[in-house]
Amino acid sequence: MMLWQRIVSALIAIPPVLWAVYAGGWPFMILLSLMAILAWHELQSIQAEPDPLILWLGYLLLLPVLYAGWRWPEGFLPLLTVAVLVLLAALLWRYETARWPLVTHAVTSFCYLSLPTVHLTRLGSLPSGWRWITLLLVTVWSYDSFAFFIGSRHGRRKPWPHISPNKSVEGVLGGLLGSTLAATVAFRLLLPDLGLGALLAYALPFGLIVGVLAQTGDLFESALKRAFAVKDSGRFLPGHGGLLDRIDSVLFATPFVYYFLIMFVL
């Protein structure tokens, strides 16, 4: 039942996401804004006692930071700095020695969301940006899919039993195979003039590093959930858990993809 729920949820969610990516502009920004707001809500709600002030302040601070990353890149760092300082100042009104984790969680989760999401806005602003975001998503999704199916069937060795006991070495290797194959096919389609040597020089390190970062993002979110003793970040997608359970890998991989393209491809 869980597998069918995952498949049906994916079939429903993927088309509008890809449409917004292809459309770019405001549709893409609205998608990212909704994603960031929902992810922020999940991050705060995994706490036993989420603070309403911090929750709503995060909503209000995330949107201008994302907009600056899209339309005013040079203003992003000043706005992010102001946002973090405002969060810290607001937390003074809620400060209690026993609630110090609230401070660290609020600032960490704000940076965890805003920094990769702003890189997504910059990725979408590149020439033919929808192609590069599709490259990112296809590579990450291929890692996740190969890791899930190969790990479920052949997984034996468990390298992170205290963080994510279902993850296996076999699943990780299968995921890296999937991300590398997907990157190779995607680069061939996106850059058809590349020779075989150049294609492999781009696709192999790209696929492997994106795969490693995707797994790291997944493990980070798993560690976060264990710290707060919750199984899923939310119930946004049946069979998948919360939104964070679906975008954790993308968040970690996005900055690398952006700088890889800027430095070596574009």
**What integer pLDDT is reported at residue 189 of this predicted model?**
94
Contacts 24+ apart (CB under 8 A), 170-173: 171/147, 172/147, 172/215
Q: According to the per-residue pLDDT averaged within each range, which of 84-88, 161-165, 213-217 is highest? A: 213-217
Least confidently predicted of 29-38, 70-79, 232-241: 232-241
Cα separation, 197 vs 40, in Å, equals 43
Question: What is the average pLDDT score of the chain?
Answer: 87
Kindly report the number of other CB atoms within 10 A of residue 230's CB atom. 17
177 vs 48, residue with greater confidence: 177
* Domain layout of the chain by residue ranges: 2-265
Who has greater pLDDT, 236 or 245? 245
Inform me whether the pLDDT recorded for 223 exceeds 80.
Answer: yes
**207 pLDDT band (50/70/90 cuts)?**
very high
Whether the Cβ atoms of residue 66 and residue 75 lie closer than 8 Å to each other: no
> Are residues 44 and 109 in contact, defined by beta-carbon separation less than 8 angstroms?
yes
Q: Is the pTM of this model over 0.85?
A: yes
Model confidence over 8-45: pLDDT tens digits?
A: 766 777 888 889 999 989 999 999 999 999 999 999 98
pLDDT at 239 over 90: no
Closest CA to 255 of 95, 54, 119: 119
Q: How many helices (H) and strands (E) does the chain have?
A: 9, 0
Over residues 105-142, the pLDDT tens digits come to: 888 899 999 999 999 999 999 988 999 999 999 999 99
Report which of 40, 257, 30 is spatially closest to residue 137, judged by C-alpha positions.
Answer: 257
Amino acid 1: pLDDT = 45
pLDDT for res 240: 55
Token digits for 243? 């939104």
Of the candidates 152, 100, 117, 92, the one whose C-alpha atom is nearest the C-alpha of residue 37 is: 117
Confidence of residue 48 (pLDDT cuts 50, 70, 90): confident
Angle at 109 between CA 143 and CA 141, to 5 degrees: 15
Q: Does residue 235 register a pLDDT over 90?
A: no
